[in-house]
């Protein structure tokens, strides 16, 4: 059996997304800035894609800027708020410890430029507390940036409540919604969101395309100088096929969101129940306030890397920590942020399931994880010490 359970890292493109792209490579290949017909056809296509994207999140088309993906959108949103803040003498930002590196590394850069950053706690359940965000906001705060759903442990943050606090305190609120868009209901107005980042390859669209929503009136800082594309906020000839694929994938995801969510939640809970039978294993993050496709466990006495390799031998593609950090020996900053100690954080497994995973496949995964964990523990010195009572079990 071959099972792809790493949809938080990237997804397979949907057929509708591929079909939406091909005409913009073969026939309508004109430059949208050109005035002749095939240029203008491409321009019109982009504008209709923009309207489709805006409709899915309750925005206006002119509030959507197409980018090269989630990382660029995060950078642009945060650097925009920082520039507005600096101009107003407000150089404090509130975020959380388990953000994606596209956010955390941008904040690090701003700290070197004199900004102060407060990271609110994400607690053991992987959830930010709105009242702690409120308490962290100061008169000089120019931005609150909290992710919609975490990419490793899948926990869904109280975005609407955080947004309401920011609105009341008149602080810009950005959310990295890369894991949420296409998977969870989002309405930027109802959810009090000023800026939102999304990426097509996390909802069955093409890699290298994404968008930034910025509420009307927010003067975006452009990261790339050049032509006047995207109303001067994102220079460079538009990735027309990518944008068409993004919009088609998002429309499709939104149209089937509820049924997909119900099906995946049942499979997710089946996996959680089965894997929980392994002794000294613990689910990471709240069991219910999590993405319908996310399962993340820590196992005592094993190494995540070996677990992944052995699961791969059984045809299962999964992940330990985020794709960006795998290959490095540091444990996941997300697991450390929810209070997992180094040793335990090393033995983690993320299964991010697709819409089409069946019960039979889930049962195969459960059996495989049980086998592999047992096998790895059978020659783990750490496990031997735990069993001999030479060190205490943590989980």
Ligand X SMILES: *Cc1c(COP(=O)(O)O)cnc(C)c1O
Which residues form the catalytic set? 324
CB 349 within 8 A of CB 299: yes
CB 62 within 8 A of CB 113: no
Q: Cβ closer to ligand X: 107 or 147?
A: 147
CB of 48 to ligand X, least distance (A): 22
Q: Cβ closer to ligand X: 145 or 151?
A: 151
Pairing outcome for strands 348-352 and 64-67: unpaired
Residues composing the chain? 395
CB of 391 to ligand X, least distance (A): 35
| 297/272 Cα distance (integer angstroms) | 9
CB 297 within 8 A of CB 312: no
| 69/211 Cα distance (integer angstroms) | 6
* Structure-block tokens of residue 170: 């008149």
CB of 178 to ligand X, least distance (A): 4
CB of 101 to ligand X, least distance (A): 8
Residue 26: Cβ within 10 Å count: 9
Q: Cβ closer to ligand X: 92 or 202?
A: 202
CB of 19 to ligand X, least distance (A): 22
- Interface with ligand X by CB under 6 A: which residues? 69-71, 74, 100, 102, 147, 151, 176, 178-179, 199, 201-202, 210
**H or E element that contains 373:** helix 359-378
Q: Cβ closer to ligand X: 147 or 316?
A: 147
CB 174 within 8 A of CB 97: no
Q: Cβ closer to ligand X: 43 or 202?
A: 202
CB 8 within 8 A of CB 350: yes
| 224/239 Cα distance (integer angstroms) | 15
| 236/240 Cα distance (integer angstroms) | 11
């Amino acid at each position: 059996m071959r099972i792809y359970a790493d949809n938080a890292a990237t997804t397979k493109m949907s057929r509708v997304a591929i079909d939406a792209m091909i005409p913009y490579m073969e026939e309508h290949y004109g430059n949208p800035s050109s005035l002749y017909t095939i240029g203008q056809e491409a321009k019109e296509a982009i504008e209709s894609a923009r309207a489709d994207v805006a409709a899915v999140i309750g925005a206006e088309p002119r509030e959507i800027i197409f980018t090269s993906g989630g990382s660029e959108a995060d950078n642009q949103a945060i650097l925009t708020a920082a520039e507005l803040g600096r101009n107003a003498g407000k150089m404090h930002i509130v975020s959380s410890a388990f953000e994606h590196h596209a956010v955390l590394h941008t904040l690090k850069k701003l700290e070197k430029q004199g900004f102060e950053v407060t990271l609110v706690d994400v607690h053991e359940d992987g959830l930010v507390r709105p009242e702690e965000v409120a308490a962290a906001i100061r008169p000089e705060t120019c931005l609150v940036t909290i992710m919609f759903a975490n990419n490793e442990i899948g926990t869904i943050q109280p975005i609407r409540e955080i947004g309401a606090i920011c609105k009341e305190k008149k602080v810009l609120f950005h959310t990295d919604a890369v894991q949420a868009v296409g998977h969870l209901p989002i309405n930027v107005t109802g959810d009090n969101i000023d800026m939102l980042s999304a990426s097509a390859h996390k909802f069955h669209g093409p890699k290298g395309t994404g968008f930034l929503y910025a509420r009307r009136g927010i003067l975006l800082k452009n990261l790339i100088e050049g032509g006047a594309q995207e109303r001067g906020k994102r220079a460079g000839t538009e990735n027309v096929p990518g944008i068409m694929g993004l919009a088609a994938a998002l429309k499709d995801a939104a149209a089937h969101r509820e049924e997909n969510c119900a099906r995946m939640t049942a499979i997710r809970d089946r996996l959680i129940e089965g894997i929980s039978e392994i002794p000294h294993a613990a689910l990471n993050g709240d069991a219910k306030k999590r993405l319908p496709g996310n399962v993340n466990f820590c196992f005592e006495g094993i190494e995540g890397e070996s677990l992944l390799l052995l699961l791969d031998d059984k045809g299962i593609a999964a992940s330990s920590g985020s794709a960006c950090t795998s290959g490095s020996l540091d444990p996941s900053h997300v697991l450390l942020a929810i209070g997992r100690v180094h040793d335990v954080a090393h033995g983690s497994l993320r299964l991010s399931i697709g819409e089409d995973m069946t019960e039979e496949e889930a049962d195969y995964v459960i059996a495989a994880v049980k086998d592999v964990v047992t096998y790895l523990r059978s020659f783990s010195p750490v496990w031997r010490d735990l069993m001999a009572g030479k060190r205490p079990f943590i989980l």
